[in-house]
């Protein structure tokens, strides 16, 4: 019985912590419309602009909170210990990336956890009293309302986010790319790892595009990653990838979101958005 009591306490701990400070390490995204998607005005269609990212369309999003950074190995380890969840592993080359018991590979504590499938990500977010963001929420959190191309505005700089151009050749600690910050303060939405969303891969409203992959078989993954070229993958409008929920990959991680309550106060940082081209402090 003592073991059961301990287990129940461990499982309840994240929820209790969330109750004490429900939005620690999260940023607020206010309600309202934004322009989602892209078209030929934003770049060369089929090269810089994916045809599945068209057309531009207005989406009215309810207020929500989103994690400031991607979920780290250290945070995910607590979930593994408390729930007994199987640890992430490279499905083809187990020696390339493997945990030892409940210990992640050395040196990765503050790096985004990878090789998690959609079900792992969804379960973790629920465990901490949150959920995965929708595709629209993810894009608004990364883009704001001014139609920018990258989280910071316009113009790609290889040293500003962890994509293939930066030559980091692996993930970097979350939140260390000071310029890779969105208008609302979310970090690493240009690069580091691509991220699971809750959304199924479907055509946008107004699109005439037909694909056999559209429907409720593949989940949308958003954002650039350390092994992907910035163009087109780091553009905030790009629908990076769509995979079966069981997919595990070294370039895929996640962050969590939470719907805002009516009495949630807007933090000062979210009251005004950065302008295109503004550099992070």
**Are 273 and 148 in contact, with CB atoms under 8 Å apart?**
no
11 pLDDT higher than 50: no
Pair of tokens at residue 146:
């001014």
* Residue 113: other Cβ atoms inside 10 A: 27
pLDDT of residue 271: 47
**Are 135 and 66 in contact, with CB atoms under 8 Å apart?**
no
pLDDT in tens, 211-233: 999 999 999 999 999 999 999 99
pLDDT of residue 252: 98
280 pLDDT higher than 50: no
Q: 279 versus 78: which is more confidently predicted? A: 78
Helices then strands, counting H and E runs in the chain, come out as: 6, 9
| pTM reported for the whole predicted model | 0.88
The dihedral built from the CA positions of residue 11, 13, 19 and 21, taken in this order, carries a sign that is negative
pLDDT in tens, 59-104: 999 999 999 999 999 999 999 999 999 999 998 988 889 999 999 9
pLDDT of residue 279: 38
What backbone torsions phi and psi does residue 36 show, to the nearest 5 degrees?
-105, 145
Please name each of the domains of the chain with its CATH number.
Answer: 2-271 (3.90.1580.10)
Among 31-35, 137-141, 173-177, 239-243, the range scoring the smallest mean pLDDT is 239-243
The dihedral built from the CA positions of residue 41, 237, 180 and 273, taken in this order, carries a sign that is positive
pLDDT of residue 83: 97
* Residue 114: other Cβ atoms inside 10 A: 27
Q: Percentage of residues in the chain with pLDDT exceeding 90?
A: 81
pLDDT bin (cut points 50, 70, 90) of residue 268 is low
């Amino acid at each position: 019985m003592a073991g059961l009591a301990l287990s129940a306490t461990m499982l309840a701990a994240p929820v209790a912590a969330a109750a004490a400070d429900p939005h620690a390490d999260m940023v607020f995204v206010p309600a309202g419309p934004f322009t989602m998607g892209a078209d030929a005005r934003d770049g060369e269609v089929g090269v810089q602009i994916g045809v599945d990212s068209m057309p531009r369309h207005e989406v009215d999003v309810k207020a929500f909170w989103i994690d400031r950074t991607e979920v780290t190995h250290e945070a995910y380890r607590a979930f593994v210990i408390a729930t007994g969840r199987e640890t992430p592993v490279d499905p083809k080359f187990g020696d390339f990336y493997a945990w030892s018991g409940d210990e992640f590979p050395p040196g990765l504590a503050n790096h985004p956890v990878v090789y998690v499938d959609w079900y792992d990500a969804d379960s973790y977010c629920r465990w901490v009293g949150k959920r995965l963001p929708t595709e629209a929420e993810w894009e608004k959190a990364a883009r704001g309302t001014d139609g920018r191309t990258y989280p910071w505005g316009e113009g790609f700089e290889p040293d500003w986010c962890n994509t293939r151009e930066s030559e980091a050749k692996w993930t970097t600690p979350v939140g260390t790319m000071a310029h890779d910050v969105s208008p609302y303060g979310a970090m690493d939405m240009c690069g580091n790892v691509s991220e699971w969303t809750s959304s199924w891969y479907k055509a946008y409203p107004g699109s005439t595009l037909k694909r056999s992959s559209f429907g409720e078989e593949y989940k949308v993954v958003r954002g650039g990653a350390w092994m992907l070229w910035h163009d087109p993958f780091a553009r905030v409008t790009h629908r990076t990838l769509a995979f079966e929920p069981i997919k595990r990959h070294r370039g895929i991680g996640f962050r969590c979101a939470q719907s805002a309550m009516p009495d949630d106060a807007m933090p000062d940082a979210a009251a005004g958005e950065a302008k295109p081209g503004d550099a992070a402090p």
